Amino acid sequence: MNEYILCGILCVAAYLIGSIPTAVWIGKGIYGIDVREHGSGNAGTTNTIRVLGTKPGLIVFAIDLLKGFLAVSMAHFASYECGTEPFVNLQLLLGVFAVLGHIFPLYAHFKGGKGVATLLGIAVALSPLAALACFVVFVIVLLISKYVSLGSMLGGLTFPIMIIFVLKIHIVSLMVFAVAEAVLLIITHKKNIVRLIHHEENKFSFKKKVENVN
């Protein structure tokens, strides 16, 4: 098969994988609740925990992370040598399509989440060490501030710092992606930033039961 046709097929597959609306399907399928109609209205981990509880929220997080990891890992189906610039470029392209699928899911009327967990899955596939640093920063900030949004943004900002300054990876496309990923997280959290500035952002707390949404 022609390499370009294969890449095109992989990109479509990455978008379809990213489009799996985990929070929506779990909410509707198990609890009869569309999480997008409650809480912050976001189809992601934090709002799932807020509306449905910790256990379903963690399941959503794990599956959304896996979506990003699997999408990027499909680069191995191509004939590029692992670790080379063409291989990394394909990984990044598949990652972009997976995130687009998560934010604009085909199966959920193009209304999805912010892509934090999916981006982490992509980061794990690209650089496990950098991804670990992002996760550690996220956890530390969350424990100290109780703000998921702040932890997500600072964790995202850690990725380009690790890639460019700590690991010193000089693949230009990966450096650009790392910076773009951090910028994307800032953009998708712009409402949270406004609430943080005005001290109106909700603090995170673990929940065991589904809230009364009737």
The pLDDT value given to residue 204: 86
Dist CA 42 CA 211 (whole Å)? 16
29-87 pLDDT, tens digit each = 999 999 999 988 989 998 999 999 999 999 999 999 999 999 999 999 998 999 899 99
Percent of the chain with pLDDT over 90: 84
Q: Supply the DSSP string of 149-177, one letter for each residue.
A: HHHHHHHHHHHHIIIIIIS----HHHHHH
pTM to 2 decimal places: 0.88
The radius of gyration computed from the CA coordinates of the chain, to the nearest angstrom, equals: 17
Q: Give the list of residues 6+ apart from residue 78 with CB closer than 8 angstroms, or none.
A: 3, 6, 7, 10, 87, 90
